[in-house]
Structure 1
Amino acid sequence: MKNIVIKKNQLSAEEYQFFRQAVGWSYIEKSVVEKSLNNELFSVCIYQNHKITAMGRVVGDGAIYFYIQDIMVLPQYHNMGFGNLIMKEIEQYLTLNTSSNSFIGLIAANGVKGFYEKFGYKAREVNAPGMFKTIK
């Protein structure tokens, strides 16, 4: 990978919306995105040749609970190492900002469980299923 620039905590609402559209996620109002970005703990973006190619975020309370969110790589850049770069930056952030017994969670998209396992993440046990709810 050549001409790579990594930017931390500079993700804009426009870039976030661009990624959501590029990966087929639903639209969220700009004011809501801005509020979310203002409350995140950490974000990282990868640029190649001045074009944003990948992003990731960490949200949570900054003490006990940390959640990896919105790991997105533009489809034309899949399998080129951009996801690994994002996760390495996130793992570095977590190493510096978590404490003993901090909980780091994530919800993996279908088919990418193995990607996160490379970084030490494990599926929840059957008797402790992850759950979620989306407000419409």
Structure 2
Amino acid sequence: MSLPRAPALSGIHHVALICSDYARSRAFYVDMLGLEVLAEHHRTARDSWKLDLALPDGSQLELFSFPEPPPRPSRPEAQGLRHLAFRVAALEPVIEHLGRHGVACEPIRVDEYTGRRFTFFADPDDLPLELYEIT
């Protein structure tokens, strides 16, 4: 017996991240990476911030803060979300921009299956982020 065909998914609406230091992460994603603030709310009952950020393609990043969140095990790679990849037109200008602000990127690699170039860097909480070049 086969399952009925699922309705088509049309894209990713948002990815949610929990940060350890809201002000530091807000500055990183807004000032450093240039994401547009859509909405920002402090939820007093939870002592938590929620920041909705827009990417140019219409997808969103939600940034949350909670009192004393446990750290995410990342290395060796933990089960769950592996990394968040941002599409860029060219790697070098973004890598240079990040470098001028003290953010180190790994050496550029080439995807063995697509031939596209990419690199990794980390956000203030050491969450793995990727730049993936689509020319």
TM-score, structure 2 normalization: 0.29
Pick the structure with greater CA Rg: 2
TM-score, structure 1 normalization: 0.29
Q: Which has the higher strand share?
A: 2
Q: Which has the higher helix share?
A: 1
